[in-house]
Amino acid sequence: MAGSGPRVRRYVLMLVLLGGFVLVLFRLVTLQVLRAEELSVRADRQHQKTVSLEGPRGTIVDRHGKVLAMNMEVPSVFGIPTTLESPAKAARQLSSILSVKVAELEKKLQQDRSFVWLARKVDPEQGRRLDRLSLDGIGVVMEGRRFYPKGPLLAHVLGFAGMDGDGLEGVEHRYETYLRGEKRMMVLQRDALGRTVFPKNLAERNPVSGHQLTLTIDEVVQYIAERELEDAVTRSRAKSGTIIVLEPETGAVLAMAVSPRFDPNIVSNLSPDRWRNRALTDAYEPGSTMKAMIAAAAIEEAAMKPTTLVFGEHGRMTVANTVIHDHEKLGWVSFAQVIQKSSNIGAAKAGMVLGEQRLYRYLQAFGFGQRTEIDLPGEGVGLVKSPSAWGRRSVASISMGQEIGVTPIQMVTAVAALANGGVLMRPYVVSEIRDAEGHLLRRVPSQIRRRVVSPETARSVTKILEGVVTHGTGGKAAIPGFRVAGKTGTAQQVDPSTRRYSNSRFVTSFVGYVPAEHPRLAMIVIIDAPHDKNASGGSVAAPVFSAVGEQVLSYLGVSSGEPVTLAMAVPNS
């Protein structure tokens, strides 16, 4: 019994050792097998920091492949505060290069963090100066910055992208999901003390570029439209202006110009009002251009024929205790002459014959009071009240282009329906989407929305609108060698102080198509608030239509037998 004590102790010790071994073995199995993946991830988190960088954004080109928006690789500057000995000294050295206040940089560099952005997407020269400075704890990585090589050209359509690469306006915003590149991951290593190791070699995932968009826009047509619009706005000392050129048969937009312009490369100091695309957003009273649609409705409904005689009341007619005036004292004239001479009284009578319900139905059919569904953001609907909200004079007023708000894109699309034989098309600006390797992903087809009038009615109205140019109010829209169909508009603007129509502020416009017999172009020209109180659509907007149309037809190879000086697009124009 005396030796039993040591044996017991040995057994106990062996059991303790065995138990300890089992526990260690169990712990090893747990760490190495059961929790291996979890612990590996935790270890990586402790020794690595991942920073997300956006991938290259897709290119935007015009219909002939000319680049309108692209990405440039430019330096972005970051700091590693945990490795800096003197944040104040580093901030002073960086301030003059980055054009950032010393206090702002010092505040960032004093943070207890392993990574901070100091300046994103700076000029290449700033990056080169930083490389020469060679500061410990300060690094540079290349990121894509959006660049618009043509400067202001097409800016309101293209829009722009923000600092983080997201599309904020225009095509850039509307097609964000296609243009956006895949995110890149930059991995920064940390040492055992948690300090970030300067990333000389970056571990990056190969980025996938965004898709390429091909626009319906023609760079040369766009340049011609912008140049002529700027000249007209400057010459007439107007507030603003708009030109839209599209193909009547397809609805493809060839040009969309808005004045004043802006440079999408430099937008930080601009107000949203400057980059707003007025061609889509701003409603205006169309004035006499609406008479083209009234004529189409009246002829389609057999309420009028071009030869129907209408009495002009010698320039003065009372409707609902108000007086409608004409600028010309007309007696008996044909309905065609009503439109050609832009008689308010004759148009009002045509509207009255149509009546409220039929008039309203045709306003809707032509697309007024609703979006055209163009593939651009921010489109307005205009203003078309339902007949239940109309007053006793509303039919007359609407028939001559008052008491109704339309957008430029609505009006040119409606007139294009007369040009193509009576079919309302959906306007569009993107024709193709391709991947980064150039493979076609999607081709955008033209889209018919609905038939508005018969081909016969469209031909009748075209003949009437030709007369507007040959011997009516639109003589200055004529283009040598071509038959032009169109309509002038001179709409009084409401004075905000008196809430009455002003006798000195007008929206002047001309909308039409050419060649009238087989239209290649439908176009609207709007000059808002020209300085001359006697300005009219015929004197201000019609000449711009002629200048743009003549050059574009020559560029497209539609021969007229007349010499023409063609404007050519140049960068940063």
Q: Could you read off the pLDDT of 234-255 as tens digits, one per residue?
A: 999 999 999 999 999 999 999 9
Same-domain status, 234 and 208: no
Domain end marker among 160, 181, 215: 215
Q: What is the pLDDT of residue 178?
A: 95
Residue 113 falls within a domain, yes or no? yes
Domain end marker among 180, 215, 250: 215
Domain count of the fold of the chain: 2
Residue in 131, 174, 171 with CA at minimum distance from that of residue 148? 171
Q: What's the mean per-residue pLDDT of the chain?
A: 87
pLDDT at residue 52 above 70?
Answer: no
Q: How confident is the model at residue 544 (pLDDT cuts 50, 70, 90)?
A: very high
Q: What is the pLDDT of residue 51?
A: 58
Same-domain status, 312 and 182: no
The pLDDT tens digits for 102-144 are 888 888 888 877 788 888 888 878 878 887 777 878 888 777 7
Same-domain status, 537 and 438: yes
The pLDDT tens digits for 99-108 are 888 888 888 8
Distance between CA atoms of residues 399 and 354, nearest Å: 10
Distance between CA atoms of residues 58 and 146, nearest Å: 10
Same-domain status, 165 and 224: no
Q: What angle do CA 366, 370, 373 make, to 5 degrees?
A: 95
**Contact 245/522 with Cβ under 8 angstroms?**
yes
Q: How confident is the model at residue 56 (pLDDT cuts 50, 70, 90)?
A: confident
* Residue percentage of the chain with pLDDT more than 90: 63
Lowest mean pLDDT among 343-357, 413-427, 470-484, 548-562: 548-562
pLDDT at residue 566 above 60?
Answer: no
**Contact 528/544 with Cβ under 8 angstroms?**
no
Q: What is the pLDDT of residue 339?
A: 97
Beta-carbon count within 10 A of 555 CB: 17
Give the domain range for residue 241.
219-555
Residue 13 falls within a domain, yes or no? no
Q: What is the pLDDT of residue 35?
A: 62
Q: Tell me the sheet residues that pair with 215.
A: 430
Residue in 341, 335, 369, 370 with CA at minimum distance from that of residue 354? 335
Residue in 277, 248, 220, 260 with CA at minimum distance from that of residue 407? 277
Report the predicted TM-score, pTM, of the whole model to 2 decimal places.
0.82
DSSP assignment letter at 288: G
Residue 255 falls within a domain, yes or no? yes
Same-domain status, 245 and 377: yes
Distance between CA atoms of residues 242 and 227, nearest Å: 12
Residue with tokens 């104040």: 88
Average pLDDT over residues 58-64: 97
Same-domain status, 413 and 438: yes
Query: Which of 435-452 are b and which e, b meaning 16 or more Cβ less than 10 Å from the residue's Cβ?
Result: ebeeeeeeebeeeebeeb
Half-sphere exposure of 342 (CA within 13 A, CB side): 24
Same-domain status, 185 and 244: no
DSSP assignment letter at 167: B
Lowest mean pLDDT among 164-168, 195-199, 450-454, 482-486: 195-199
CATH number at residue 100: 3.90.1310.10
Same-domain status, 485 and 543: yes
Same-domain status, 467 and 318: yes
Q: What is the pLDDT of residue 572?
A: 46
Cα–Cα distances in Å, from 490 out to 84, 252, 380, 401?
A: 68, 27, 22, 9
Q: How confident is the model at residue 515 (pLDDT cuts 50, 70, 90)?
A: very high
Q: What is the pLDDT of residue 195?
A: 47
Residue 520 falls within a domain, yes or no? yes
Three-state SS at 325: strand
Distance between CA atoms of residues 520 and 480, nearest Å: 16
Domain end marker among 181, 215, 249: 215
Same-domain status, 207 and 251: no
Residue 547 falls within a domain, yes or no? yes
Q: Tell me the sheet residues that pair with 450.
A: 424
What distance, in Å, lies between the first and last C-alpha atoms of the chain?
Answer: 111
DSSP assignment letter at 515: S
Same-domain status, 208 and 277: no
Residue 20 falls within a domain, yes or no? no
Q: How confident is the model at residue 186 (pLDDT cuts 50, 70, 90)?
A: low
**Contact 556/314 with Cβ under 8 angstroms?**
no
CATH number at residue 439: 3.40.710.10
Question: Longest Cα pair distance anywhere in the chain, in angstroms?
Answer: 145
Residue 236 falls within a domain, yes or no? yes
Q: Which amino acid is at 379?
A: E
Residue 562 falls within a domain, yes or no? no
Same-domain status, 173 and 259: no
